Amino acid sequence: MVTSGSPIRVDVTPRDAFERRPRLFAALEAAFPVKFQVGNADADAAIVFVTPAGGSELVSRPTLTLLGEHETHQSIAAVAFSDSSSVPRPFRGQTLTDSSAGQRLPSTYDDWGTALATSQAGPIWMARDREFVAGSRPEELGPRGTLREQLTAGRFMGLLPLAHFLRELSIAASWEQPQSTACFVFDDPNLHWWSYGYLDYRELAAHAEAHDYRVTAATIPLDQWYIHRATARFLREGQSRVSFAVHGNNHTRHELDRFDDPDRASGLAAEALKRSSAVRRAGAEIGPVMVPPHGACSVAMLEGCLRAGFDAICAEWPYWWLDEADASSPLAGWHPLDRIVGLPVIPRLHVVASDRDDMPFRAFLGQPLVLYAHHTDLKGGLDLLAERADEVRALGVDSWRSLGNIAPDVFSAYRFGENMEFTLYSQRTRIAVPEGVSRARFVCIGGKPSETALRLELRDAAGQREIAPGEAVEVGSGEIIATVVATPSAAPTRGGWPVRGAVRRLLTETRDRAAPVSNRIQARASRRLAANAHRVGP
């Protein structure tokens, strides 16, 4: 975060270790309210790079010691985290594989403190009061490298001890990060009937209640010409754990990634929102979050969604669906929510196909844990969702929300005296300003849209006003609502009824709805075959 005042001063020694990692330390200064200095004995905390031969200094301030000699480093492989309360909550008790280079701590540390992480050779990360020591080191970022590359499934021991150290210092100095939230997302279901393929709304709602999770169905705006009133009523009356979001517009091939003009893209995005409003009118909950069909969305379409009034899109990280140039910033994938050309992105993982070992890292960074699926993933029943809900809870995440409720109110805050700095990750953020704070800055992260202007509006007891991002403004204690407004805003394009799209969609829906039936017929046929085989057998 880009703080204007009073960042935490962190001494780095030796100078050489600092100077060999300029991009890494610059990215960390942008990620945390810290300022790195070399050789400042008065700094608030210290990071010491030493070789095992060098003795550790007597410490009087929070200190992270990073041991290592590159020649003796090996791949760490399996890392087992302990249950200690000094281990960040998402990692407690987890075992993860790691390819970072490092080594076990020398035996002089054997009785030194609490082991936080252990490899097969011995402890690699330990803590004692405000002191930490690790047997691995972060690497300098490549020219287009990101911090997140060193804090992810398969590669984390180089950076995790340092990121955790800076995070703890920041929290101790008043920094607040959002808590991770969770949701299941199903692509494609509509409200034409009680069920959609293997997904049955009544079963799902009861199961979600029993296992304490929430589900959002990403529904196709084209499908909203008809809504089965009884299903919508059921979802409304049960205060249902099942809600909706927006899935493309017509769900045609490359629908959201073929646009390169924000004006035309915004017409489509506005039409998608307008058609989707039928779900709300029927009484079910639908949030203004775009879930792109097939996971792909162009930059122009992100800008279109911004203008149409979407709160976020929900798509996969790493951003394989974006050109590298659009996605690259040293902090891409690091924030609670990234913004790409101004629009917040809620990252998601496939319920089966993705590497779920990345979930602890998302939880550590305060990112939502969104697991998506298709109705066919429920072929084996709903147990899959119960298992995944347990996995999410094991990371210390138990705030399940609809996708529409995950998007707003995500921000971080840092206070120094009467001043506060808020980093806004959402388009709409409700903030409680504490007593004693009189000035605040509001900052938005990420790249700006090319052809859309973003304004920042504050609404508090005194009324509504527009402010410039980053500008220090007078505030009173109490509630403030900060809203990012895009101009020009978008109006729906007046298109005719897309006959071909509708026919194609109807064929797909017929296939999806027939899937459980044909599966039952197949199962019955194979049972009959087996029975016959048995009968004619010996």
Least gap, CB of 294 to Zn ion (angstroms): 7
**What is the nearest approach in angstroms of Zn ion to the Cβ of residue 256?**
11
Residue 262 CB, nearest approach to Zn ion (Å)? 23
At its nearest, how many Å lie between Zn ion and the CB of residue 156?
A: 32
In the bound state with Zn ion, the residue whose beta carbon lies nearer, of 65 and 243, is 243
* Torsions phi, psi for 78 (to 5 deg): -75, 130
Phi, psi of 240 (to 5 degrees): -65, 150
Calpha distance 538→532 (Å, rounded)? 12
CA 537 to chain CA mean position, Å: 56
Q: In a 3-state reduction of DSSP, which class is residue 441? A: strand
Question: For residue 173, which amino acid is it?
Answer: A
Q: Is the Cβ–Cβ distance between 288 and 311 less than 8 Å?
A: yes
Q: Which is nearer to Zn ion, 20 or 379 (CB)?
A: 379
Residue type, 442: F
| Structure token pair of residue 458 | 């504050």
Q: How far is the CB of 48 from Zn ion (least distance, A)?
A: 52
Is residue 182 within a helix (H) or strand (E), and if so which, with residue range?
Answer: strand 182-187
CB nearer to Zn ion: pick between 141 and 272: 272
Of 109 and 186, which CB lies nearer to Zn ion in the complex structure? 186
Q: In the structure encoding, which two tokens stand for residue 379, read together?
A: 């072929």
Taking the C-alpha atoms of residue 518 and residue 474, their distance in angstroms, rounded to an integer, is 65
* CB-closest chain residue to Zn ion: 187
Helix, coil or strand: residue 350: strand
- Residue among 147 and 351 whose Cβ is closer to Zn ion: 351
* Cβ-based neighbours of 452, under 8 Å, separated by 6 or more: 262, 303, 306, 307, 341, 342, 486, 487, 488
Q: How far is the CB of 301 from Zn ion (least distance, A)?
A: 15
Residue 279 Cβ vs Zn ion, minimum distance, rounded to whole Å = 16
- Give the β-pairing of 463-467 and 453-460: antiparallel
Which CB atom, from 34 or from 191, has the smaller least distance to Zn ion? 191
**Closest distance of CB 499 from Zn ion, Å:** 20
Q: How many beta carbons lie within 10 A of that of residue 355, not counting itself?
A: 11
Q: Of the two residues 245 and 322, which places its CB atom closer to Zn ion in the complex? A: 245
Distance from first CA to last CA of the chain, Å, rounded?
75
Binding residues for Zn ion, per CB under 5 A? 187-188, 293
